[in-house]
């Protein structure tokens, strides 16, 4: 609204000044009119270039901002996947930052050229007008000074008129970005030169007297816990809010470092020297999961397999895979995003899967498919599956149920008959 008011006021001032200039000197007014008719379109060409570059810079900033948010929101997932972390930092952060800085510098250059163009045109106008009036031999010297001051004063409102059109153009560019939000495609090809950490050979995962205490005098204390988990098992983890389920999952995944005790994968005791290698065995769909647009796979992503998973989870009409990237991810509901995160997790093909209350945001059909079809399929593929859940109606799917209360494992090794 302020831009429109400024535009209307400036147009009125330009019109009034042009009438005054024409009254002072018809010849001088002709110079002014010609300069405006020639200079304004030329100036507008630079402004159009500036608007287009501003639009590109805005899109580059949107991509960089989403990735910066992903660095924080998806930190746990990045810790569990060194290959994804390296790709994310190298491509999604470094390259996106370079793209934004380049686009921003082009905007500055285009803005400077547009501004200098206007100044050159106005200065040339003043010079021509002054020359014409000096050459006038009618004896009206006082008209020269009045005319000169009128033209100088005209520069201000005329620049504001052109600037208002530039502002409206930037608003239009922002509106276009807003409409395209969630429909743009991030098409980044994966570099095949990423070094992957060799996995640890294992069949059993053991927690030996593992405990963890949150900071503070009255902080929550988890454990100690003694537990052995095996490949090909489905483990349900239950308990009330604050019982220690999430702490257990983050300790198992290596996101939290045990205060006491040890975690042993196969025959390897996990410490700082191999913690990242240990994390590489996990993929997790946590309650606060961050949905990355770009897929990460050990090898080239199997697009056909991805499309099959999208169809299985009812996402094929909403999401597509192009250049190893999901499209239209921002237009999904929370439940659909968690389904898509599950698809991405399956395509990573890790050996241990953790699902934190995944079914809580799903409809009945998706929940049933998750428990009765998806989880048994992971078991057949010899994956260790850990599910944090309150869905007691599907307890018969689990091989074992672990129940926590106040940080303690109150029913270790409850086998489902």
380-406 residues labelled b (16+ CB within 10 A) or e (exposed): eeebbbbbbbebeebeebbebbbbbee
**Percent of the chain, pLDDT > 70?**
73
pLDDT of residue 247: 93
- pLDDT greater than 70 at residue 130: no
Of residues 32 and 383, the one with the higher pLDDT is 383
Q: Which two tokens stand for residue 241?
A: 């809010």
Q: What is the mean pLDDT of residues 40-68?
A: 75
355, β-bridge pairs: 285, 387
User: Which DSSP symbol is given to 201?
Assistant: P
Of residues 118 and 16, the one with the higher pLDDT is 16
Listed residue (326, 246, 229) closest to 286, CA to CA:
246
What number of CA atoms fall less than 13 Å from residue 124's CA on the CB side?
12
pLDDT of residue 259: 92
Q: Is the pTM here over 0.75, yes or no? A: no
Is 208 in contact with 263 (CB distance < 8 Å)? yes
Q: What is the mean pLDDT of residues 375-391?
A: 94
Q: Which two tokens stand for residue 133?
A: 């009036």
Of residues 356 and 26, the one with the higher pLDDT is 356
Torsions phi, psi for 171 (to 5 deg): -60, -40
- pLDDT greater than 50 at residue 185: no
Task: Give the residue ranges of DSSP H helices in 181-203.
Answer: none
Listed residue (67, 56, 108) closest to 89, CA to CA:
67
Is 343 in contact with 310 (CB distance < 8 Å)? yes
Is 238 in contact with 389 (CB distance < 8 Å)? yes
User: Which DSSP symbol is given to 294?
Assistant: B
Indicate the helix (H) or strand (E) that contains 408.
strand 408-409
- pLDDT, tens only, 298-349: 655 667 888 888 898 988 888 888 877 887 777 788 888 889 889 988 888 8
Whether 204-415 and 2-180 are alike in CATH topology: the answer is no
- pLDDT greater than 90 at residue 41: no
How is the chain split into domains, by residue range? 2-180, 204-415
User: Which DSSP symbol is given to 95?
Assistant: I
Q: Which CATH number fits domain 204-415: 3.10.129.10, 3.40.50.300, 3.40.50.2000, 2.170.150.20?
A: 3.40.50.300
State the pLDDT confidence band at 141, using cuts at 50, 70 and 90: very low
pLDDT of residue 190: 38
pLDDT of residue 375: 95
Q: Domain spanning 2-180 has what CATH number?
A: 1.20.1560.10
Q: Which two tokens stand for residue 349?
A: 């093909």
Of residues 402 and 38, the one with the higher pLDDT is 402
């Amino acid at each position: 609204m302020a831009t429109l008011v400024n535009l209307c006021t400036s147009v009125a001032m330009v019109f009034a000044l042009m009438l005054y200039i024409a009254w002072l000197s018809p010849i001088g007014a002709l110079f002014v009119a010609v300069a405006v008719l020639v200079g304004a379109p030329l100036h507008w060409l630079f402004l159009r270039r500036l608007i287009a570059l501003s639009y590109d810079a805005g899109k580059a900033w949107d991509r960089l901002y989403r990735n910066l948010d992903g660095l924080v929101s998806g930190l746990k997932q990045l810790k569990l996947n060194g290959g994804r972390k390296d790709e994310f930092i190298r491509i999604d952060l470094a390259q996106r930052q370079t793209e934004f800085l380049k686009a921003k510098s082009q905007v500055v250059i285009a803005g400077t050229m547009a501004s200098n163009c206007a100044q050159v045109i106005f200065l040339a106008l003043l010079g021509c007008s002054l020359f014409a009036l000096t050459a006038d031999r009618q004896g009206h010297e006082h008209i020269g000074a009045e005319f000169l001051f009128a033209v100088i004063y005209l520069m201000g409102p005329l620049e504001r008129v052109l600037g208002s059109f530039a502002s409206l153009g930037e608003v239009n560019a922002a509106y276009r970005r807003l409409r395209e939000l969630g429909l743009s495609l991030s098409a980044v090809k994966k570099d095949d030169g990423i070094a992957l950490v060799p996995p640890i050979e294992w069949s059993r995962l053991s927690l030996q007297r593992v405990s963890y205490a949150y900071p503070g005098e009255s902080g929550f204390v988890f454990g100690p816990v003694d537990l052995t988990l095996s490949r090909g098992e489905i483990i349900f983890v239950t308990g009330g809010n604050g019982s220690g389920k999430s702490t257990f999952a983050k300790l198992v995944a290596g996101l939290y470092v045990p205060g006491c005790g040890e975690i042993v994968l196969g025959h390897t005791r996990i410490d700082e020297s191999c913690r990242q290698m240990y994390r590489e065995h996990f993929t997790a769909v946590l309650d606060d999961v961050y949905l990355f647009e770009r897929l990460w796979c050990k090898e080239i992503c199997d697009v056909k397999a991805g499309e099959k998973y999208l169809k299985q989870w009812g996402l094929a009409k909403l999401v597509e895979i192009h250049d190893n990237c999901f499209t239209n991810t921002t237009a999904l509901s929370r439940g659909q995003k968690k389904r898509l995160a599950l698809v991405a997790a399956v395509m990573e093909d890790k050996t241990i899967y953790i699902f934190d209350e995944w079914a809580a945001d799903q409809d009945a059909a998706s929940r049933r498919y998750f428990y009765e079809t998806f989880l048994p399929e992971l078991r057949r593929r010899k994956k260790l599956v850990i599910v944090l859940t309150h869905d007691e109606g599907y307890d018969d799917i689990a091989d074992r149920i672990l129940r926590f209360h106040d940080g303690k494992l109150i029913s270790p090794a409850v086998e489902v008959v």
